[in-house]
Structures are given as structure tokens and as C-alpha cells.
Structure 1
Amino acid sequence: MVVAGASGTYLATGTFGPVELLLAALVLVAAYRGLGSWRWIGVAWLLHTGLDLVHHLQGVELLPWARGSALGCAICDPVIALWCFTGGRPLDRLLAGRRPVRPASAGGAS
């Protein structure tokens, strides 16, 4: 839901005319497919990253009063996409997979 809404954030700018609608529709399709797959949500976030970068290069900010907001979004979105590509696991479980496992205590055996 969030990435689908994010795909429409730039529509009011009219930066790319009708092409903007096509790009937002592509993100929306990927987000819809993401209802059944974390991988597609990740793809949607990567597509949105592309929108952020292009708007940043054109000087059209996500938040008109905040310089660099499109670039900030373009930096954050791939991180969200990577998390989605891991299956959207909770952070503690994601990090637990990277920690070495300690052997269980012998429980008082001598």
C-alpha cells in the first residue's frame, strides 16, 4: 500500500507529462503483484527509486520546501527494497541469521 501511494507523489508536478502516469502505473502494477510476493514489493521500491532519481536530477523535489528530499528518498528506497528481497523478515530475525550460533550449555553435566 505504501509503495503504491508513493508512486503517485510526483504526479502533481507534471514534470514528464503523460509519461509520468505510465511510470506511476508500472510501480502500481508491481505493488499489486507484491500483494502475493515480497520480491515484487522490492521491485516496486526500486522502480520508485528511479522516479526519485529522475526527479532529483530535474530539480523537482518530493517536498517542495525540503531541498534534497527526492535524493533522500532515492537513498532510502533501495534499502527498503533490499529488506523486501529478504522476505520482509523482522530486523531481529534478519540480524540473527548473521550472528554466530553459540552451542547450548551442557546444563550442569561434568
Structure 2
Amino acid sequence: MTILAPVLIGLLYVCLNAFIREPHRRTVNAIMVGGAGAAYLSGGGLGGWEFPFVALTAYLAWRGLASWTWIGIGWLLHTAWDVAHHLKGAPIIPFLPASSHGCAICDPVIALWAFTGGWSVTDLARRWLPSASARDATAGTPNAGSTTRTS
């Protein structure tokens, strides 16, 4: 459960993003990377290193406004920060000791999705099931799919 739940949370995050249309989806996710970079700041588990990390993720978020690749890089960098915090014993949620561990599993799921270009779930379904989208497109036309010929 310590692995499955974070993966499911990452997938839920990806699915919920289907409700945000482009170009806003990328903007929202760039903001999320910037926010994730500051998530550990109040705990200060890694001391003064927290400040340069926030600056770096802010830069990645800014670059992410124009590129999904930078958003993916930001999530992978946050994964490494999660691991460091987990090993140091300073979890992202102070009253949940394994929260940084879970975050380190969840974040790469989001990063992989960002590296695909941040497609919505419906976009992915259309790409993987092209016949279904073609069938839906012709469903409203008269005699669509009919094999009989009228002359």
C-alpha cells in the first residue's frame, strides 16, 4: 500500500488535469511545480539548501510555462528532494513520517505524464483508440457505417 497509494494519487492528479483545457493545463502545472518546490521550506529539514532549491524550482516553473519538458524535469528534481527529506527524517507532512517516501513515488508518475506533453486522459484515449474516435465522428451522419448502397 505504501507504493500503490502514491501511484494512484499520481494517476488521479493526471486524470483531474483532463478538466483543464490547454493552454491553461500547462500553466497550472508550471505553477504546481513552483509550489512543490516550496513545500519543504517551512520544515527546513535540509537547512539553508532549501532556499536554492526553491529558486531552482521557481526557474523550472518559469521555463515550464513554455515547455512540458521543464515541468517534467521539475517533478523529477522534486522526487530527488523527497528522497533526501525521507532519508534525513524530515517528511513533507510532519505528522506522517512516510509522506516524503510517498511523494517520491507519486512525483515520477506526474513527471512521466508531463514528458508526454501533458495530454488529457481523453486525448490519450483518442490516440490509443483511433477507431473509437472515428466511429464517434461518423455516428451523427445518415447511413454512417452502412454497407448497402442506394441508387
TM-score by length of 1: 0.86
Q: Does 1:17 align with 2:47?
A: yes
Bigger-Rg structure (1/2): 2
Query: Take 1:71 and 1:99, find their aligned partners in 2: how far apart are those partners?
Result: 35
Match of 2:148 in 1: 109
The 5 A counterparts of 1:41-80 are 41-80=71-110
**CA distance in 1: counterparts of 2:80 and 2:125, whole angstroms:** 28
Residue identity over aligned pairs, in percent, reads 45
Return the alpha-carbon distance in structure 2 between the equivalents of residues 25 and 71 of structure 1: 23
Kindly report structure 1 stretches of 4+ aligned residues shifted beyond 4 Å: 102-106
Residue identity in the other structure for 2:63: R
Which runs of no fewer than 5 residues in structure 2 stay unpaired? 1-30, 136-143
Is the CA contact (8 Å cut-off) linking 1:28 and 1:44 kept in structure 2?
Answer: no
Superposed CA deviations along residues 47-70 of structure 1, whole A, max 9, x for unmatched, are 111111110111111111112111
- RMSD after superposition: 1.9
Q: How far apart are the structure 1 equivalents of 2:77 and 2:70? A: 10
Structure 1 regions of 5+ residues with no counterpart? Answer: none
Of 41, 46, 57 in structure 2, the residue corresponding to residue 27 of structure 1 is: 57
More contact order relative to length (CA 8 Å, sep ≥ 6): 2
TM-score by length of 2: 0.65
2:68 counterpart (38, 44, 63): 38
Aligned length: 110
Displacement of 1:106 in angstroms is 4.3
Match of 2:128, SS state, is coil
